[in-house]
Amino acid sequence: MPSIVVANSLELAPIPPELEELNVLERQLIAKILPFAKIVALPKGRQRTVHGAVVCVPSEVETTVNSLPRPSAEAQLLQVKLKLKIKYKGYQHFYTVNMKNVLAGLRKLKDAHPQYSDVAIDESATFESLQGDRPVDEEDARRDNPDAA
């Protein structure tokens, strides 16, 4: 770290271990705002730049986290497949989400960050309580959200 940073007391605070062990998707699940930008490599050197506008989309953390089922056992892993668009057949990314880590990270944010104090976590949601729910069908998703196509 540059010496001027330390001299001006601008050093960064350590990241809590609950947040440090989250993977990319787990961080996005508990983020209040999701930024989208096109990042390109500059022709010389190893630098990168943002090309075009940066769009920040607000996210409903409480709705997202409470809609994900939680296994009742210790192995709280969910396999998540992400598509670019619902109408596409293939998947862009595969992630494994550890719900134990997501909930621990969200609890830490609730304790430490004032903007997360209003988030309520439904601790009773398990696989068993969501058995009546069915997976989202592509036709249902298009009917519910015609702009998604």
- Going from N- to C-terminal start, the domains of the chain cover 14-31+60-123
Strand partners, 8: none
Distance CA 135, CA 149 (A): 19
Phi-psi region of 23 (alpha: psi -120 to 50; beta: other; left: phi over 0): beta
Contacts of residue 110, Cβ cutoff 8 Å, sequence gap at least 6: 116, 117, 119, 121
Q: Is the pTM of this model over 0.75?
A: no
Looking at the predicted structure, is the pLDDT value of residue 54 above 70? yes
The three-state secondary structure class of 25 is helix
Write the single-letter amino acid at 16: P
The three-state secondary structure class of 126 is coil
Give the pLDDT confidence score for residue 21 in this predicted structure: 93
Looking at the predicted structure, is the pLDDT value of residue 131 above 60? no
Tokens of 108: 């830490």
Distance CA 24, CA 16 (A): 16
Q: Please state the rounded mean pLDDT for residues 107-117.
A: 92
Distance CA 26, CA 4 (A): 34
pLDDT band at 149 (very low <50, low <70, confident <90, very high): very low
Strand partners, 41: 48
